[in-house]
Structure 1
Amino acid sequence: MADSSKEQALSSGPENQDGTGNPEEQNTPRPQTSHRSPKKQRSFFRELPILIGVALVLSIVLQAFVFRVFLIPSESMEPTLHGCAGCTGDRIVVEKIGYRFGDPQPGDVVVFKGPDSWNTHYTSTRSDNVVMRGIQEVGSWVGLVPPDENDLVKRVIATGGQTVECCDEQGRVLVDGKPLDEPYVKMDYPFTPGVQDCQTAVQSGRCFAPVTVPEGHVWVMGDNRSNSADSRAHVQDELQGTIPLDNIIGQARFIVLPPSRMGSISSPDPQSN
């Protein structure tokens, strides 16, 4: 009897200490089940059109209100900006915000839409094909294609109310009778006092008569004075060669291409001396 009771205690006691049955079942971890549904993953190809659409909208907004990239097509701003025949023209970033809060100042390099008299030799770059022209217009909105307008780049020399002319005895441009300091000019017409100046029978190509710039306008000239059809070439038009502020797109700030010429565009004030 004693042995029987002892065997019963050994066999039944541990099984019933906490009422859970087999001890091996107590020590075996039970898998946990989650009642949450799997997180849905959106397909990359479903999100791609949205990402492209957002990028296009941002590009249009930035191009319209903040900055735009322009290609320099001519030599008129050499050596500040390269656009020589046979070389890679500079691509410049033109900032648009600053002139919403203030006017261009002497020395600023600006991009502007040419007035009517400046468009004599301009030819549209748009295709005659309706479909291709539509594609070009869309490309223009996002900055992949140049706008269909005569956009030019020059340096501001005088502003509204100032009188500009050339030259003094040293061949310098005068604004309100004071000579300008223009370190950016490296190429200009010959000027030799007494031989070829503004008083000799054959005048220097630098010379032009005084022009008073109307309010709300600027007088612009290229840094390459001997090869720039700037305000001097349009003094006979209704604006006397000046540019309305409404035509100015923005200030040229940086050269972004080619990589060898990357950097900021200097804008020293020629009237500061």
Structure 2
Amino acid sequence: MKEQRPFWRELPLLVVIALLLALFIKTFLVQAFSIPSESMQNTLQKGDRVLVDKLTPWFGSESERGEVVVFHDPGDWLKNEPAPQPSAVQKALGFVGLMPSAEEKALIKRVVGVGDDTVECEGAGSLKVNGKALDEPYVFPGNTACSADPDGQFDVTVPSGHLWVTGDHRQASGDSRYHRHEPGAGMVPVDDVVGRAVVVAWPVGRLDNLPVPATLDRAATDARR
């Protein structure tokens, strides 16, 4: 009869397997992301942890209107933001996906326009996609869907393979609108998308999913007709 090895001798191998599994999940399936600002209130609060679906893009699926997506900084949008100073432990846990990466230069916004869409704001009324005014109940209370400042007024056509994104806290979000005069014209290449945020996982009291709002789901349906 083969003698069973003691648990303490098996433990290092189990730890290595667990870390490799976590790294695989982070790379190909799901990654945690920490909300860095108030730009997505009240849908997301600063400090929330969301889980990002990274698997779907591997099958060729592209982001759709209404999705909340995490994407790599497309044109140095974060140049004026303070750089985080994670500890060695945070770096290690972030690398394998056991906690949100503290160093990754990524943003999180809502997709309101996809390739070939026309997106516009005139005055402080509704945001329009392909000429249709959207009813956006997720916009932060007290904000207007369109900002009356000069940078908040626009009429753009989204190039194929790109996205137009905004924060739900419209008057506190440095999104596509405010990068129109920079390289990239405020557009986010679909190749820069890490994945769709699908669940608020932390804190426990805010556990919730992140569905596509009906107003943008209908806009997508109308566009396909």
Interval of TM-score (by shorter of Structure 1 and Structure 2): 0.7 to 0.9
How far apart are residue 95 of structure 1 and its match? 0.8
CA contact (8 A) 1:113 1:150 kept: yes
Equivalent positions of 1:5-24 (< 5 A) are none
Structure 1 counterpart of 2:107: 152
Rate the CA distance shift 1:263–1:205 in 2: closer, same or farther, 3 A.
farther
Q: How many residues align?
A: 216
> Normalised by the size of structure 2, how large is the TM-score?
0.86
CA contact (8 A) 1:122 1:150 kept: no
Runs of 5+ in structure 1 lacking a partner?
Answer: 1-37, 84-88, 192-196
* Secondary structure at the counterpart of residue 76 of structure 2: helix
Structure 2 counterpart of 1:117: 76
Rate the CA distance shift 1:207–1:118 in 2: closer, same or farther, 3 A.
closer
Alignment root-mean-square deviation, CA: 2.4
Rate the CA distance shift 1:207–1:234 in 2: closer, same or farther, 3 A.
closer
User: Is 2:190 the partner of 1:248?
Assistant: no
Equivalent positions of 1:21-100 (< 5 A) are 38-83=1-46, 89-100=47-58
Structure 1 counterpart of 2:222: none
1:91 maps to amino acid:
R
CA contact (8 A) 1:93 1:254 kept: yes
Match of 2:116 among 155, 161, 170: 161
CA contact (8 A) 1:171 1:206 kept: no
Structure 1 counterpart of 2:168: 223
CA distance in 2, matches of 1:260, 1:136: 24
Higher relative contact order (Cα pairs below 8 Å, separated by 6+ residues): 2
* Secondary structure at the counterpart of residue 66 of structure 2: coil
How far apart are residue 145 of structure 1 and its match? 5.5
How far apart are residue 237 of structure 1 and its match? 1.3
CA distance in 2, matches of 1:230, 1:42: 57
Rate the CA distance shift 1:190–1:183 in 2: closer, same or farther, 3 A.
closer
Q: Which runs of 4+ in 1 moved over 6 A?
A: none
CA distance in 1, matches of 2:151, 2:19: 47
CA distance in 1, matches of 2:151, 2:159: 22
CA distance in 1, matches of 2:152, 2:77: 21
261-270 or 41-50, which moves further after superposition?
A: 261-270
> Normalised by the size of structure 1, how large is the TM-score?
0.72
Rate the CA distance shift 1:178–1:262 in 2: closer, same or farther, 3 A.
same
CA distance in 2, matches of 1:172, 1:57: 47
How far apart are residue 155 of structure 1 and its match? 0.2
CA distance in 2, matches of 1:190, 1:267: 20
* Secondary structure at the counterpart of residue 111 of structure 1: strand
CA contact (8 A) 2:34 2:100 kept: no
How far apart are residue 207 of structure 1 and its match? 4.0
Q: Percent identity?
A: 38
Match of 1:173 among 127, 133, 143: 127
* Secondary structure at the counterpart of residue 238 of structure 1: coil
1:213-257 deviations in Å (ceiling 9; x for gaps): 111110000011111111111000121101111111010011111
User: Is 2:207 the partner of 1:258?
Assistant: no
CA distance in 1, matches of 2:64, 2:10: 46
